[in-house]
A and B are shown apart, each in its own frame.
Chain A
């Protein structure tokens, strides 16, 4: 066994070189985590530098039946890049080049490990931007964004990652390299770009991305409106939409969140408010000048005690600073937080926010809300002490209750953070057995052995229509997991 595993690591090393392979337990420990509350230790971490190396690694793991988990920056919030069943973590962190920028055709070609914000920084002097802007954009990678189909505050009008990806170079589960989508519109064949986006590393590894970049708007106006309650702020959101104005961003922060954020980033937020809305309009001057006063008026009519409009770029950045660092600020009010990501039709915001509050109260925990109100995408942050197993359990119970509330309101259990390992067993709340069977059939068609990021995205257990078949897959996977564990004994 040991002999075999030694040869396995040697073969990994042969592909990525000495400095591309981590096996030291100390180093491996850094890859146990992502932004979620899940943990698991890999057997080895590889850091390839080229798509060819990625392909060779996937071929090797495929042939040996070793699990492989792709990883970007590890900022994911659903345990997506955690090597649940051991195996090899494939980090794309060293593939981070901007390969080309074509402003005439408004596209850029980048490697998957490129940090999201680095692309916008790079094209910004030319007057362009990359639209999807997760709050983690200073750290997360574009490859990770594709895998999660990430959104951000500006996706209300701008769309999420899938709307900005034109072509992908992929390494499939058996190690073959293909390109899907195209720089020219409407490539033939089913929309594989569309299904790879949001597939959480379970059907292919993304090794190159051609994405859209767009011209920055002529005029941007950012404003903050303070309300007595989340209900009043939610109603203002609906009223703005009803007036025919769709701001590029409508973000909400509730009272507990505001106090934490203000203590952390001194953004000048009104800490006494029950809730604050951050709104942004982007368009040509006339449209913004027409819409901005109407938005102010709607907020006032909806009971806003204060509406602040940023007068310049500096003030605008100040308004955004607090929001962008909101999750980090939670440390001010609790040792740890468990964030949910359910999404609901936006008209249901008031009632579902009440249920969120209720869910936390029921288990004796506090909750803060910082979220994409325009999209109806909630981010309740359930505050708990991660050293207290009972609190952790209660946080998870409240989380489940919140997801139920979202589904019952006609929504979905995740809007942008992904299912990962964290929400896979809640899939049944939202989807029928037939639908789950279709998901499984699709996964089986792409990765029959489930070697790519196993046990993610699909329900882990039985009970769906495909019970028999899943059980077989599970048994196979358990056998593989044992094998992975055996290989791990070498370390």
Chain B
């Protein structure tokens, strides 16, 4: 009977159908796809989606597969809709500072195109060589420069999506300012592909800063708390500023007793020199002696390594949370988590975003089994203190049991109505999103 349900997919032009073991390369957490379709055109993607919805098949849209452990595990996976053949720059005129790109394009590919024209789209993702534009938008992932440059929703100016009725809806356009119609693009940005499948996205882009400098320093005992207030008064707002702890082997600078601080500065050359002097004196005043400096491409690399931390898992035995709070409270949060990790015998690594009030925490146990026994009490503690904490990755059992997205928002009923309006049969990513939408 199931075979029949899949049959209409094989009739769709420009749609590659992959089944059997070959489909297994598409992994959703611990599960492997049994059937995947790869559309070569927008029309094929929309037709595939409609066929699945009509046959009652559950669809998981798939970009680079770097964030498929986000959210609850899907209720069921019948078809993976892989966007990797929809790739490339659709339109780009550097003088307009706008760009239109297919959803399956990797972030690295996009960055290269823009860099050739001296521009960039300052939306950082983990693993840019694999992560796709569509995935970045669907997850709404905000990298470490989000506090300064904004989130995917802020730079998105237009979106084309395939809906489950087989239609393609557009919102926005190729202009930097636009209030024609509802800004439905924003609705899809961060909705984890539960409302439609992102096919193409338009962004506003900007000139790459001529000077980029990454400054990192080890934090000696007793300096962590004071560094925070100093960052706040820097003359040049950094594009990223973090306090880190742990992540052994993942970062190219030394860590001290209280971890390290990392700051990215972007601007005109003269400006960066003054900002560096200013930063050095702020660090000095906080009792932090030396700093490593990385310039231009090396600064970009250091930043990329920091952004990779978002996706850094230790196979089957780690879990990562993102906590949100006033920047002033982040450090005490970190200290609390360090304590609980000790009692639960887990390793804790964290990165606190000083500009944006977020704390990325990774908890790791010696084995998957040990994680199973110690994570629940950490989860309980975190939920009690920070109900809004988001579980970013964890083994499937945890993502099934825990309230991955934090508490239910007050507008959850309206969110369900919107889901019903766009995906009445619950075809897309069923069960993964807030309130198991």
Residues of A within 8 A of B (CB): 104-105, 148-149, 151, 155-156, 159-160, 162-163, 170, 172, 176, 178-180, 182, 184-195, 197-199, 215, 218, 238, 241-242, 244-246, 283-287, 289-291, 343-347, 372, 375-377, 410-419, 423, 427, 430-432, 434-439, 441-446, 457, 465
Q: How far is the CA of A244 from the CA of B326 in the complex (A)?
A: 35
18 contacts between A and B (CB under 8 A): A104-B328, A105-B327, A186-B358, A189-B435, A194-B186, A197-B186, A198-B183, A215-B237, A286-B270, A287-B267, A290-B271, A346-B96, A376-B176, A411-B174, A412-B178, A427-B181, A445-B414, A446-B414
Tell me if A445 and B421 are in contact (CB < 8 A).
yes
Tell me if A186 and B154 are in contact (CB < 8 A).
no
Tell me if A286 and B178 are in contact (CB < 8 A).
no
Q: How far is the CB of B92 from chain A (nearest CB, A)?
A: 11
Tell me if A241 and B175 are in contact (CB < 8 A).
no
Which of B195, B206, B324 has a CB less than 8 Å from the CB of A185?
A: B324
Tell me if A443 and B182 are in contact (CB < 8 A).
yes
Q: Which of B280-294 contact A (CB under 8 A)?
A: none
Closest 10 CB pairs of A and B: A194-B186, A184-B324, A286-B270, A434-B167, A445-B421, A438-B169, A188-B405, A286-B271, A244-B207, A178-B411
Q: How far is the CB of B233 from chain A (nearest CB, A)?
A: 10
Is B170 among interface residues, defined by CB-CB distance under 8 A?
A: yes
Which residues of the other chain, B, contact A410 by a CB distance below 8 angstroms? 173-175
Which of B181, B210, B433 has a CB less than 8 Å from the CB of A435?
A: B181
Is B410 among interface residues, defined by CB-CB distance under 8 A?
A: yes
Q: Which of B133-188 contact A (CB under 8 A)?
A: 140, 142, 146-147, 150-151, 153-154, 163, 167-188
Which residues of the other chain, A, contact B269 by a CB distance below 8 angstroms? 286
- Chain B 181-205 near chain A by CB (<8 Å), digits 1 or 0: 1111111111100010000000000
Tell me if A199 and B182 are in contact (CB < 8 A).
yes
Which residues of the other chain, B, contact A427 by a CB distance below 8 angstroms? 180-181
Which residues of the other chain, A, contact B154 by a CB distance below 8 angstroms? 159, 162-163
Q: How far is the CB of B64 from chain A (nearest CB, A)?
A: 21
Q: How far is the CB of B357 from chain A (nearest CB, A)?
A: 6
Tell me if B178 and A343 are in contact (CB < 8 A).
yes
Q: How far is the CA of A417 from the CA of B180 in the complex (A)?
A: 9
Which of B94, B232, B268, B405 has a CB less than 8 Å from the CB of A286?
A: B268
Q: How far is the CA of A105 from the CA of B328 in the complex (A)?
A: 9
Q: How far is the CA of A219 from the CA of B84 in the complex (A)?
A: 46
Tell me if B140 and A178 are in contact (CB < 8 A).
no
Q: Given known contacts A184-B388, A244-B207, A284-B236, is B175 in contact with A172 (CB within 8 Å)?
A: no
Which residues of the other chain, B, contact A178 by a CB distance below 8 angstroms? 409-411, 414
Q: How far is the CA of A156 from the CA of B185 in the complex (A)?
A: 20
Q: How far is the CA of A96 from the CA of B142 in the complex (A)?
A: 33
Is B118 among interface residues, defined by CB-CB distance under 8 A?
A: yes
Q: How far is the CA of A364 from the CA of B136 in the complex (A)?
A: 51
Which residues of the other chain, A, contact B180 by a CB distance below 8 angstroms? 412-414, 419, 423, 427, 430-431
**Size category of the binding interface on chain B:** 35 or more
Which residues of the other chain, B, contact A246 by a CB distance below 8 angstroms? 97, 206-207
Q: Given known contacts A160-B177, A163-B150, A284-B236, is B142 in contact with A185 (CB within 8 Å)?
A: yes
Tell me if A441 and B422 are in contact (CB < 8 A).
yes
Question: Which residue of chain A has its CB nearest to the CB of B140?
Answer: A186
Q: Given known contacts A191-B186, A411-B173, A445-B420, is B179 in contact with A417 (CB within 8 Å)?
A: yes
Q: How far is the CA of A427 from the CA of B93 in the complex (A)?
A: 26
Tell me if A162 and B183 are in contact (CB < 8 A).
yes
Q: Given known contacts A284-B235, A445-B417, is B93 in contact with A412 (CB within 8 Å)?
A: no
Which residues of the other chain, A, contact B356 by a CB distance below 8 angstroms? 185
Question: Which residue of chain B has its CB nearest to the CB of A377?
Answer: B177
Is B390 among interface residues, defined by CB-CB distance under 8 A?
A: yes
Q: How far is the CA of A180 from the CA of B405 in the complex (A)?
A: 15
Tell me if A187 and B274 are in contact (CB < 8 A).
no
A159, A188, A195, A431 pick with most chain B CB within 10 angstroms: A188
Which residues of the other chain, B, contact A186 by a CB distance below 8 angstroms? 140, 142, 151, 190, 322, 324, 358, 390
Is B370 among interface residues, defined by CB-CB distance under 8 A?
A: no
Question: Which residue of chain B has its CB nearest to the CB of A286?
Answer: B270
Q: How far is the CB of A284 from chain B (nearest CB, A)?
A: 5
Q: Which of B247-271 contact A (CB under 8 A)?
A: 267-271
A182, A284, A444 pick with most chain B CB within 10 angstroms: A284
Question: Which residue of chain B has its CB nearest to the CB of A243?
Answer: B207
Tell me if B267 and A283 are in contact (CB < 8 A).
yes
Is B115 among interface residues, defined by CB-CB distance under 8 A?
A: no
Q: Given known contacts A198-B183, A430-B180, is B270 in contact with A441 (CB within 8 Å)?
A: no
- Chain B 319-330 near chain A by CB (<8 Å), digits 1 or 0: 000101111100
Q: What 9 additional pairs, Cβ within 8 angstroms, besides A182-B324, A190-B191, A419-B181? A: A104-B232, A172-B414, A179-B410, A185-B147, A188-B388, A198-B183, A215-B237, A241-B95, A289-B270
Is B336 among interface residues, defined by CB-CB distance under 8 A?
A: no
Tell me if B414 and A192 are in contact (CB < 8 A).
yes
Q: How far is the CA of A160 from the CA of B176 in the complex (A)?
A: 10
Question: Which residue of chain B has its CB nearest to the CB of A441?
Answer: B421
Q: Which of B110-148 contact A (CB under 8 A)?
A: 118, 140, 142, 146-147
Q: How far is the CB of A450 from chain B (nearest CB, A)?
A: 14
Q: Given known contacts A184-B357, A415-B175, A427-B181, is B95 in contact with A242 (CB within 8 Å)?
A: yes
